[in-house]
Amino acid sequence: MKRSHVRLAAGLLVVGLLAAACGDSKSSSSSTTTAGGSGTTAAGGGACDASKPSIKLGALVQLANFAGFEDGIKARIERENKTCIGGRKLEFVGTRDDASDPQKNLDGAKDLVEKQKVDAIIATSAVLLPQTTDYLASKKIPYFGWGFMPGFCGKDSWGYGFNGCLSSFALGVPGAKLNGSLTEPNAKVLNKASNAYSIVLFNSDDDAGKFGNIQYQALWGKQLLATVPVPTQGVTDFTQYVNTVKSKNPDVVVVSTDFSTAIKLKASIIQGGYKGLVVDYTTYIPGLLDASKDTAAALEGGYSNTQVPAAEDGGEGTKQAAADLQAIGKPAFVAFGAAVSYWSVDVMISMYKAVAAAGDVTPDNFRKVTEAGVTYKGVSGGIGTIKYPDGHFNPAPCAGMVQVKGGKYVTAVPFQCYTLLDPPAK
């Protein structure tokens, strides 16, 4: 893969071209094994056997960007170790923080594999580049996480995103489809068809934004009344952007920028008198509004397309995650990083149960079982169903929508799964 594509795909985390976690790729691969989600006991579970070796896993992450990541891992494996996987306990050997440095990411992976002898890695980072993912594939080490990096994509990938391969269409993966969860929640709030509302798009003026625009243009086409690039630095006066919204008067304003710009731009548009939907992909962060009243005030009235199940939905999945956190002595508060790691581990556990039900838990058997066809079945209030190997080739089109009202996040559209959409004919 070209280095420019790698760098651009890394920017997907920033610009919000991320779907959440359920699969409907409609590929031709068959699903031969079904494994349960967080609230179920699947095949391959059962009593623990102290004579069997543990299944070792480590974490590789940008800790500064994913608060609570290690807590989510520990919470989920603590519950699983009451029954074990094919008699084997899960053993967490610790976290390697790459500090957003690609070399540290690679070094962390090598340490986990060569010194800690892990069987799997929970990995989420914008510097999880091919030098790391190719290395993990060569060592037959599966990794699980938020699938926004190229290493989660393609038939040779040993990466299993809880939400599939998110960048498939923009990367030009043959047969890749468009992500319906980027557009359907807007339609539900508006009570209009997804192809019947108008949009003004504010997109970051950098390589990542240009890359993301590939998907936006294919997804919305003529619905876009204007596509406006926004500099990544130096903007202090948002008047021109407010005036664009006033002149076009769209049904929806989509803000696809970095976090700090999204806050300022959304506030300016709403305070400028616009009464329609102002939606972004980055500002749903549990705990944010309570921690910063100024931020809460700036986001008041705006919407965010959330990539993980929102605690505000009150579903079984998020309640279970909160209970699991309490069980390890942590507050019953599912931080964003904890949600990402928790659901990544949940998918990993379901896959290892399927492998254990089919035979020995070895790297070769893991690959054989998962690539022959395995389905993770989600639970209410958690991530949705994801199939592999389908998930190596398409995103998982699920999302919810929250609105900031009275300084709090409230559910506007509950987290749910949509369909993958065919791109327009060329």
pLDDT in tens, 391-402: 999 988 999 999
Is the pTM above the cut of 0.75?
yes
Nearest-angstrom CA–CA distance, 158 and 89: 22
Q: How confident is the model at residue 181 (pLDDT cuts 50, 70, 90)?
A: very high
Interval 320-348 mean pLDDT = 95
Instruction: Kindly state the average pLDDT of the residues 173-193.
Output: 94
What is the residue-averaged pLDDT of the chain?
Answer: 88
pLDDT digits (tens, 9 = 90+) for 58-96: 999 999 889 899 999 999 999 999 999 999 999 999 999
The contacts of residue 348 (CB under 8 Å, 6+ apart) are: 57, 120, 122, 142, 144, 160
What is the per-residue pLDDT across 206-216, written as a single tens digit (0 to 9) for each?
Answer: 876 777 888 89
pLDDT at residue number 408: 96
pLDDT tens-digit readout, 235-290: 999 999 999 999 999 999 999 998 889 999 999 999 999 999 999 998 998 889 99
Token readout for 128 is 């999880």
Q: Is the pLDDT of residue 348 over 60?
A: yes
Instruction: Provide the 10 A C-beta neighbour count for residue 312.
Output: 20
Lowest mean pLDDT among 69-78, 165-174, 185-194: 165-174
Q: What is the pLDDT of residue 78?
A: 97
The residue among 97 and 46 whose pLDDT is bigger is 97
In this structure, what token pair is assigned to residue 277? 């939907």
pLDDT band at 102 (very low <50, low <70, confident <90, very high): very high
Q: Is the pLDDT of residue 11 over 80?
A: no
Looking at residue 31, its pLDDT comes to 36
pLDDT at residue 314 above 90?
Answer: no
Whole-number Å distance between alpha carbons of 325 and 67: 14
Percent of the chain clearing pLDDT 70 (strictly above): 89
**pLDDT reading at 7 higher than 60:** no
For the chain, which residues make up each domain, given as ranges? Answer: 25-163+314-362, 179-306+399-414
Does 19 score more than 70 pLDDT? no
174: confidence class by pLDDT, cuts 50, 70, 90: confident
Q: Looking at residues 410-414, what average pLDDT do you find?
A: 96
Confidence at residue 37, expressed as pLDDT on a 0 to 100 scale: 61
Residue 13 scores a pLDDT above 60? no
Residues near 275 by beta carbon (within 8 Å), at least 6 away in sequence: none
Q: Looking at residue 315, what is its pLDDT?
A: 87
* Residue 426, pLDDT score: 72
- Cβ–Cβ contacts within 10 Å for residue 59, how many? 28
The DSSP element (H or E) to which 293 belongs, if any, is helix 293-299
In order, the DSSP letters of 233-289 are S-----HHHHHHHHHH--SEEEEES-HHHHHHHHHHHHHTT--SEEEESS---TTHH
Topology (CATH level 3) of domain 179-306+399-414: Rossmann fold (3.40.50)
Least confident interval from 23-37, 199-213, 234-248: 23-37
Q: Which helix (H) or strand (E) holds 187?
A: helix 184-190
Same fold, 25-163+314-362 and 179-306+399-414: yes
CATH architecture of structural domain 25-163+314-362: 3-Layer(aba) Sandwich (3.40)
307: pLDDT confidence band, cut at 50, 70 and 90?
A: confident
